Structure 1
Amino acid sequence: MSAAHEQPDHLRRSLSNRHLQLIAIGGAIGTGLFMGSGKTISLAGPSVLLVYLIIGVMLFFVMRAMGELLLSNLEYKSFIDFTTDLLGPWAGFFCGWTYWFCWIVTAIADVVAIASYAQFWFPGLAPWGPALLWVLTLLVLNLTAVRLFGELEFWFALIKILAIGALIAIGFGMVAFGFTSPLGHRATLANLWSDGGLFPTGVDGFFAGFQLAVFAFVGVELVGTAAAETADPMRNLPKAINSIPVRIILFYVLALVVIMAVTPWRLVHPGRSPFVELFLLAGIPAAASLVNFVVLTSATSSANSGIFSTGRMLYGLAEENHAPRLFARLSQAAVPSKALVFSCLCLLAGATLVYVVPNVVTAFTLVTTLSAVLFIFVWSLILVAYIVYRRKRPQLHAVSTYKMPGGVLMCWVCLAFFAFVLWLLTLQADTRQALLASPVWFALLAIAYARKVRRGAKTPSPVGEEG
């Protein structure tokens, strides 16, 4: 039997419930929680707890809408398929390419972060060295088999869970035993309301928290890109999505509660990881190295998810004739190898551009804000597709065993919330720059789609071909 004959023509359902659960957890716990929560606390004070809860609740409804849509037709491989089916080819084109770009941008931020975390242990190392090594390693592992990606994410997510679990346990232990810091501050839950109440920085500070916190949640929809490779999706997809609220309460809210209980919110340094600070207060001298390892793992996990997602998005786009057909070819391991290699080349090219920007922190803020804006676009398209699905396919909704709570009304509530977040991004100069840059991407997509439509009008599209 020839190699060509053995080449698979579809993705394999190799991801188990164990893999999907941890992929969903890994997506819900971003690097922003470990590194960005200090700045968010300094802006919003204890009201940051409400910020994370509100964003988490809204994204839970987005995930429920996505879940009902994916399970309404098991031929859907990801949200590209149902946006194309329900909204038209333009929506699949814009959604797929934007999601691909989302993860390229996010992975660029992660690669920059990986390089800086590696320099913690190897200060003399050129930053491009670990960045290149990490991307090539993750590419090789992703080319091997999808099950290996699942295993990698399982262990990456487990490390993050153990780190946050340790932080929560140590923090509550310090509160229970009345720990007093060298500066004379006692660990107590009263720190959450005794200094200015829940909203000590006012409404402005509360709103400012949303700008940073949204980026911490990007990747929560990752379970939707893994749908085509999930064993028993009717059982495993709902389990992964339903556990999102529990994860948000455990990993975000409890972690931030113990941080602000042990260290009064005004003393949380915006430029440092509050995780490191708490472990140092607890008398763990290796805290900086420990948290650096965890954050390095978190960034690697996010970069790994980015490589996986971009490959699957290009594969889906090629299947819909929205991208060159060569990206629809699978390797003998049933992975879209050409799409993965192309995405990694774009990722490395983008990472080199970040290094030529004089101020890396400014570049990082611009990159992460742009990523958040584009993710909001993708999440909004999922909600719009659900609204159209309810109008066009009422019979499928009627027989669905996984209906979205609140239905169409909650879709409109979530869309209004996303519009509110975009308005908030106009209030700060650095986030406003990234918001103003996002229309450039959509203009480029519109030009590319118009050219594609013109070409299609001249040359008959091979719609009848088998994939």
Structure 2
Amino acid sequence: MTTRPPSPVTTASPPPTGTQPPHASGLQAGLKNRHLSMIAIGGVIGAGLFVGSASGIAAAGPGILLSYALVGAMVVFVMRMLGEMSAANPSSGSFSAYADRALGRWAGFSIGWLYWFFWVVVLAVEATAGAVILEGWIPAVPQWAWALIVMVVLTATNLASVGSFGEFEFWFAGIKVAAIAAFIVVGGLAVFGVLPGSDNASAGLSNLTAHGGFLPNGPSAILTGVLLVVFSFMGSEIVTLAAGESADPQRAVTKATNSVIWRVGVFYLGSIFVVVCLLPWNDASIAEKGSYVAALDSIGIPHAGQVMNVVVLTAVLSCLNSGLYTASRMAFSLGQRADAPQSFARTNARGVPQAAILASVAFGFVAVAFNYLWPDTVFRFLLNSSGAIALFVWLVICFSQLRMRKIILREDPEKLVVRMWLFPYLTWATIALITFVLGYMLTDDGEGGGRIQVLLSVLLAALVVAVALVRERLGRNADDQAVSRH
């Protein structure tokens, strides 16, 4: 077999006052409990919730609630599986490190690089989205300059220390959480007719069924809605990577895993429920303004559009910040396992994997350039080829957990502090559901639709797996030759 460093288990003891001792891996335990708590809560609130929900409502009507519930359940189950593995063996590589051990080196290599690719493409998407909002406020600065500015600022934040990343993410996520909570409270009062000054007489629970029924476009629209909302959930797994740079990773992972149900229920189902109760699902303003702005306008909230622009910008910057962090830590873990350049696994005096961060942001800058130079060709190809990777990651987590449960029980059964429910039946049911979603995407043959995303993502995955298998074969041959020489 190929010789290589063992997959690291990143742990740390609580630091003495005033110090942040390095982990054995070189990373610092610089994330505080409040950072991790907010990363866990904010991780499930992406910009896609604010800007993408309108298309889901248009496709499924009030039935979009079932789409969100279906995807939410899938995410809860996947996070439970990932939490089981992470609580037992916290690692900066998270599911990639577990796949490496449970399924084989090829699996850890492949899913690690695919996940890295997904997030560096997201960097370009979010930087451009933030630049559009900022240019609307200050037109004197061109859009490309705003994209450059936000990328540089957040790169500097990540390079400074893991604590500075955590602090920025704490405030970014805090604003998102506060905005969603306020929206649910204010909108809920309006739905039940007890909000002072609200002038939306048509708001109420009747909107769930009064305009063509709860499923105006038929039951199949639920699955269409699933395709439109599934990717807005990507990011919930970030806390399992970040926990490796905390003083008590097991506690952080356990807490995040146990709270994922209410986070999905409140922030996704709660806010979308308010939207479809405040307005008829087919109200033209939802498509024109976006679901949240239209809902706020309907109850007379002044400057609703600008308020939501601030919130969306915060969500974009949060996603950009955490995306850069996530990509760099995955590159760091790949470097530790000799699946990436060794420089990626080195940290500086502040415990930051500088080379991994710079390599990730460099590809992000290239992708931003593609978005401005060739948005309909090269950049669209990048988007489509990363489109189904989220589902691939969730599948790998499921299959890894099936094997890792046996390994943990055999080696360290006392570390099994988080357990997947109804194992292995619910794990297999989740695998079936994810596979069904991927299959259903193949029926979506519109421009930039699910079919092209699945096909290009499968093609990219096949290429990466082929590289992994070739590397493994060459490594075995090198080992055999070394043995024969001796």
Q: TM-score, normalised by structure 2?
A: 0.87
Structure 1 range deviating more: 228-237 or 451-460: 451-460
Distance 1:8 1:406 in 2: 35
Distance 1:37 1:66 in 2: 27
Q: Deviations over 1:159-208 (max 9, x none)?
A: 111111221122122223378998x8511111112222221110232111
Distance 2:376 2:156 in 1: 32
Equivalent residues of 1:22, 1:154 under 8 A apart = yes
Report deviation, 1:334.
0.2
SS at match of 2:388: helix
Structure 1 range deviating more: 121-130 or 378-387: 121-130
Distance 1:275 1:282 in 2: 11
Structure 1 range deviating more: 351-360 or 21-30: 351-360
Report deviation, 1:396.
5.1
Equivalent residues of 2:132, 2:143 under 8 A apart = yes
Question: 1:237-316, aligned counterparts within 5 Å?
Answer: 237-267=253-283, 269-316=286-333
Number of aligned residues: 453
Distance 1:384-1:83 versus aligned 2 partners, 3 A rule: same
Structure 1 range deviating more: 131-140 or 434-443: 434-443
- What residue is the counterpart of 1:231 in the other structure? 247
Distance 1:7 1:382 in 2: 25
- What residue is the counterpart of 1:383 in the other structure? 398
- What residue is the counterpart of 2:191 in the other structure? 175
- What residue is the counterpart of 1:445 in the other structure? 464
Equivalent residues of 2:44, 2:235 under 8 A apart = yes
Distance 1:370 1:261 in 2: 36
Question: 1:363-378, aligned counterparts within 5 Å?
Answer: 370-378=385-393
Structure 1 range deviating more: 161-170 or 375-384: 161-170
Question: 1:286-435, aligned counterparts within 5 Å?
Answer: 286-357=303-374, 370-395=385-410, 398-399=413-414, 400-428=416-444, 429=446, 430-431=448-449, 432-435=451-454
Question: 1:8-23, aligned counterparts within 5 Å?
Answer: 9-23=25-39
Aligned CA RMSD, in angstroms, stands at 2.5
Percent of paired sites with the same residue = 35
Report deviation, 1:449.
2.2
Distance 2:262 2:428 in 1: 24
Equivalent residues of 2:387, 2:454 under 8 A apart = no
Equivalent residues of 1:7, 1:332 under 8 A apart = no
Distance 1:381-1:356 versus aligned 2 partners, 3 A rule: same
SS at match of 2:287: coil
Report deviation, 1:76.
6.9
Equivalent residues of 1:170, 1:282 under 8 A apart = no
SS at match of 1:105: helix
1:62 aligns with 2:78: yes
1:436 aligns with 2:451: no
Distance 2:175 2:375 in 1: 33
- What residue is the counterpart of 2:116 in the other structure? 100
Amino acid at match of 1:155: W
Equivalent residues of 2:61, 2:281 under 8 A apart = yes
1:131 aligns with 2:147: yes
SS at match of 1:404: coil
Amino acid at match of 1:312: R
1:202 to 218, 240, 244: 218
Equivalent residues of 1:106, 1:371 under 8 A apart = no
Distance 2:140 2:127 in 1: 18
- What residue is the counterpart of 2:12 in the other structure? none
Equivalent residues of 1:39, 1:271 under 8 A apart = no
Distance 1:39 1:7 in 2: 45
Report deviation, 1:77.
4.9
Amino acid at match of 1:237: V
Q: Deviations over 1:104-148 (max 9, x none)?
A: 122221112112111221235322111111111101110111111
Distance 1:157-1:358 versus aligned 2 partners, 3 A rule: closer
1:82 aligns with 2:98: yes
Structure 1 range deviating more: 336-345 or 168-177: 168-177
Give structure 2 stretches of 5+ with no counterpart: 1-21, 481-486
2:50 to 34, 38, 45: 34
